[in-house]
Structure 1
Amino acid sequence: MASGLVSRDRESSAIAMVFLGLTVALVTGVPLGTWISQSFGWQATFLGVVLLGVIGLIASAVLVPSNLPQSASPSLRAQARVLTSPRLLLVYLITALGYGGNFIAFTYLAPMLTDVTGLSAGAVSLVILLYGASVAVGNILGGRLADRMGPVPALTLIFAGLAVLLAAFGLALPHPVAAVAVVALWGGFAFANVPPLQAYVVQIARQVSPDAVDVASGLNIGAFNLGIALGRPWAGRGRQFGPHRRTLHRRAHCCSEHWPHSAVRPAGRADQGHCCGLKRSKPVCQNRQTGPSGRDEV
């Protein structure tokens, strides 16, 4: 619908405006809903969702033109051409892997900032809000970049920048200022690729199956959600790697005596020195001692 309201040279910017709400809500909606629930009760969160839904319904009825051209429902053959197009399948794979990889890191953003960087819980909330603001800016700039350069050059530049930032984040984690600066840029690059990817899908679908452009566009949204869904489980698998894995293990999971039914329960017993899949000289949760610095020593 968004691409049909504007000229071809502004499609990416129009798509960016549509996805602006989705991307910002995805990043900021969960912490905002959590804060509302903690402050006013969980019922208030659901009432807020209902209120926003009503506002969206009224806005759609008032603002969306009623004379938009309606295309005929695509035939099964047209939809099959979408599902069997190698070019479209490649874009769907890029979408799923791109967002799956991004959410592997985003899943552990809060514990990394608290346990590795040393930020307080309140400071972490502000950093996540900064990430959300960067997402909004990156979404709009990504659409404009795709309009100016074309989807493929824009995606090449955006994904290259995202890879550099994710690598730099691991190095910047012990340094608060550097870590916050990387997070501020990371959000923009992470979601700047939404408009180019969607615009590229629309372009390919017009060549492969003109009658099923909406189907192709919808499948790309499915790939987006699939990447997010698969990224979080892989984040759990990847927590055992990297220079900060011990700290993240302590944060994400503790000894089996604290979570006796945890799926990540260690293979050995806690009294044998095993905790969270790591073998230590002393059990982490049972033999804590306070050192001269006032910190727990294990």
Structure 2
Amino acid sequence: MPFAIYLLGLAVFAQGTSEFMLSGLVPDIARDLDVSIPSAGHLTSAFAVGMVVGAPLMALLSRRFSRRRALLAFLGAFLLVHVVGALTTSFAVLLATRVAGALANAGFLAVALVTATSIVEPNAKGRATSVLLGGVTVACVAGVPAGAVLGEVWGWRSAFWAVALLSVPAVLAIGRAVPAGTAGAPDATAPSAVGELRALRGPRLVITLLLGALVNGATFCTFTYLAPLVTKVTGLGSGWVPVVLALFGIGSFIGVSLGGRVADVRPVPLLVGGSLALLAGWVLLAVTAASAVAVLVLVLVQGALAFGVGSTLISQALYAATGAPTLAGGFATAAFNVGGAIGPWCGGLAIFAGLGYRSPLWVSALLVTAALVIGGAALGLSRRGRPVPARWRGHVATRRRRRR
């Protein structure tokens, strides 16, 4: 893999830390800025909305600039809003910085996905995607716990300063290492924005994005409610929650690493087998949630399966969107963030309906089941409509004559 991809992964690590670190900082922010905890929780929702809306819009905007310039602009804006967030004493300003940071994050990730897959061999998109998304998984394992520790020792503002400082070397390195190739419109050979939007309507791409949203929704449906599951159902103390979250993060890193090696060679077996195993794992975890050993093992396994399948779907979306080289990354980012927003919402509805803290696991199983049904139907239709290879035509004709 080109070194530039690992530098992009460093920036994604900083951004992933920012996206998830608020889970441990909300009480401190609420107390410091004199707002309620539910109000402070809106900071997370604002970031999610910014990611969903911002990914396609920022990808479209980036067509005016070279990829390197677009990456530097988005990462520079991301750095700046975290400095403002660390300095402000106004909750409204902090809320605005979360939206702005999400827009910058979405734009960066959209361009980074396209950049990473364009500087490797045409058949290595899965490996490039896995390296890039490895930054998100490392953020879950190391960045988020580190942010929580910083917030505990030096206050929530120190976590914002840490994210800004992490972004500085990424800005400097990307400026030197990433090729200056165009992101879209400046290149006369590149498709127009209208042409890219038309290419995004392809059935294969639409199905892949839908599957990605469902699988990611299942992942974050359970991930969001792991803490009450561990303490209320499994019966472990609150001190075990960081351990369980770290195990999930370690599993996710293993999943993207191994998935990236297989995604370019045997994507369909990986997606089918991985999704079936993922479904079985959610059901098994729901049934055995009272067992501490089962939970600790299955959380690791499910993290690996969820991110292995999820990262493969992202790479397949990029393979399917060759006619939309600029916007493909933006729509893939948006689809997965739609899943990240809908999954926890569905899990919350199940809990509020009185179904207990195991219910998000069953919701995750239902979402993966939906993905399997839709994916299976799409695969069956595509095979039914596939033309007979030329080398088989004579054999088929002979068999038909014999039947007559």
**Matches of residues 26-105 of structure 1 in structure 2 within 5 Å?**
26=140, 29-66=143-180, 68=181, 72=187, 74-105=191-222
TM-score by length of 2: 0.55
| 1:16 partner SS | helix
Deviation at 1:69, TM superposition (A): 6.6
| 2:260 partner SS | helix
Give 2:378's aligned residue. none
Measure, in 2, the Cα distance between the counterparts of 1:78 and 1:193. 29
Q: Contact 1:152–1:196 at 8 Å: present in 2 too?
A: no
Q: Contact 2:248–2:302 at 8 Å: present in 1 too?
A: yes
Q: Which amino acid aligns with 2:349?
A: R
Instruction: Find 2:285's aligned residue among 169, 189, 198.
Output: 169
Give 1:255's aligned residue. none
Alignment of 1:234 with 2:346, yes or no, is: yes
Measure, in 1, the Cα distance between the counterparts of 2:142 and 2:283. 24
> Residues 234, 184 of structure 1: CA spacing in aligned structure 2 closer, same or farther, 3 A cutoff?
same
> Residues 32, 230 of structure 1: CA spacing in aligned structure 2 closer, same or farther, 3 A cutoff?
farther
> Residues 89, 241 of structure 1: CA spacing in aligned structure 2 closer, same or farther, 3 A cutoff?
farther
Identity across aligned pairs (percent)? 34
Q: Contact 2:232–2:357 at 8 Å: present in 1 too?
A: no
Q: Which runs of 4+ in 1 moved over 6 A?
A: none
Deviation at 1:54, TM superposition (A): 1.0
- Which ranges in structure 1 are unaligned for 5 or more consecutive residues? 247-298
| 1:219 partner SS | helix
Deviation at 1:144, TM superposition (A): 0.8
Deviation at 1:244, TM superposition (A): 5.0
Q: Which amino acid aligns with 1:51?
A: L
Deviation at 1:65, TM superposition (A): 3.6
Give 1:194's aligned residue. 310
- Which ranges in structure 2 are unaligned for 5 or more consecutive residues? 1-114, 360-404
Q: Contact 1:6–1:14 at 8 Å: present in 2 too?
A: yes
Deviation at 1:22, TM superposition (A): 2.2
Give 2:258's aligned residue. 141
> Residues 28, 89 of structure 1: CA spacing in aligned structure 2 closer, same or farther, 3 A cutoff?
farther
Q: Contact 2:216–2:343 at 8 Å: present in 1 too?
A: yes
| 2:265 partner SS | helix
Measure, in 2, the Cα distance between the counterparts of 1:59 and 1:116. 46
Q: Contact 2:234–2:290 at 8 Å: present in 1 too?
A: yes
> Residues 92, 27 of structure 1: CA spacing in aligned structure 2 closer, same or farther, 3 A cutoff?
farther
Give 1:10's aligned residue. 124
> Residues 18, 78 of structure 1: CA spacing in aligned structure 2 closer, same or farther, 3 A cutoff?
same
Structure number having the greater helix percentage:
2
**Matches of residues 118-267 of structure 1 in structure 2 within 5 Å?**
118-149=235-266, 151-206=267-322, 209=323, 212-239=324-351, 240=353, 242=355, 244=357
Q: Which amino acid aligns with 1:36?
A: L
Deviation at 1:70, TM superposition (A): 5.8
Deviation at 1:161, TM superposition (A): 1.5
Q: Which amino acid aligns with 1:34?
A: A
Deviation at 1:155, TM superposition (A): 1.4
Deviation at 1:166, TM superposition (A): 0.8
Q: Contact 2:209–2:335 at 8 Å: present in 1 too?
A: yes
Q: Deviations over 1:21-59 (max 9, x none)?
A: 023325654443233212211111110011111122122
Q: Which amino acid aligns with 1:137?
A: I
| 2:120 partner SS | coil
Give 1:286's aligned residue. none
> Residues 232, 141 of structure 1: CA spacing in aligned structure 2 closer, same or farther, 3 A cutoff?
same
TM-score by length of 1: 0.74
Q: How big is the alpha-carbon RMSD for the aligned residues of Structure 1 and Structure 2? A: 2.2
Tell me the number of residue pairs that the alignment of Structure 1 and Structure 2 aligns.
Answer: 240
Deviation at 1:194, TM superposition (A): 3.3
Measure, in 2, the Cα distance between the counterparts of 1:136 and 1:96. 19
Q: Contact 2:133–2:311 at 8 Å: present in 1 too?
A: yes
| 1:119 partner SS | coil
Measure, in 2, the Cα distance between the counterparts of 1:28 and 1:221. 22
Give 1:252's aligned residue. none
> Residues 124, 196 of structure 1: CA spacing in aligned structure 2 closer, same or farther, 3 A cutoff?
same
Q: Contact 2:137–2:253 at 8 Å: present in 1 too?
A: yes
